[in-house]
Structure 1
């Protein structure tokens, strides 16, 4: 398995099996089905760069994770979802299995919440949260 696929699979397994998160959302996706209902989480864009040293093949991956909810009273729901994702991933190397690789580190880099309009010009209060994580993996 490629390093990028292995990291994404580990993130998906961790998030989709983390009860503090799954109790808050309808699903965790990397491709959102048309009939998906909020709240949900999407594993989004990623990057992968080589980070070898003299003794090991290594890669640094960044993963962007999105949360959406339809919330009539504000961003509270999305922020609760982002908090659960943070708890599931930030510095939780021992809790993630990256098949074929060793996860050296996974850290939270940033978070942002904002309102998305579902229909241009309408304020329908879909709240969107974004987090980015950086992971360092080494070949076994």
Structure 2
């Protein structure tokens, strides 16, 4: 199976940076020096779509938006922007791969109990194959 996860994570990170702007950092690993609000792209899984063709994969990518505002309004607004930017988007360029379909499988909102940070978890499913 050709693995699109590295190239896909980079392409999605680049798109997130363009969408969210410079005031919101986008990370794979968040250092202690990072300031809120920020986004992470990192929890990824890939499975073959067709057992006869191992090169075509469905990749699930988790995007997390984090904010320390007292209300959850801003993280909800950003989640809506990200959802709209990725759902059924057909213009994502992934080096070495063709994206057949991209859809948002869900947006999950929470306030983390230990840190009290507002969080939006957005799960994006991408069907891709080598080009």
TM-score (norm 2): 0.89
Q: Is the 8 A contact 1:58 1:138 kept in 2?
A: yes
State which of 26, 29, 32 in structure 2 corresponds to 1:28. Answer: 26
Q: Where does structure 1 lack aligned partners over 5 or more consecutive residues?
A: 120-124
Q: Deviations along 1:20-65, whole A, 9 cap, x unmatched?
A: x226x42111111211111111002110011247678311100011
Cα distance in 1 for partners of 2:111, 2:54 equals 43
State which of 55, 58, 62 in structure 2 corresponds to 1:57. Answer: 55
Which structure has the larger Rg over C-alpha atoms? Answer: 1
Of Structure 1 and Structure 2, the greater strand share is in 2
DSSP-derived class of the 1:37 partner:
coil
DSSP-derived class of the 2:83 partner:
helix
State which of 101, 123, 130 in structure 2 corresponds to 1:132. Answer: 123
DSSP-derived class of the 2:107 partner:
strand
Deviating beyond 3 angstroms after TM superposition, the runs of 4 or more aligned structure 1 residues are: 52-56
Q: Deviations along 1:83-127, whole A, 9 cap, x unmatched?
A: 111122111122x101111001110011111111445xxxxx421
In structure 1, the partner of 2:112 is 116
DSSP-derived class of the 1:97 partner:
coil
Q: Is the 8 A contact 1:104 1:136 kept in 2?
A: yes
DSSP-derived class of the 1:17 partner:
helix
1:48-127 matches, within 5 Å, as 48-52=46-50, 57-72=55-70, 74-94=71-91, 96-118=92-114, 125-127=116-118
Q: Where does structure 2 lack aligned partners over 5 or more consecutive residues?
A: none
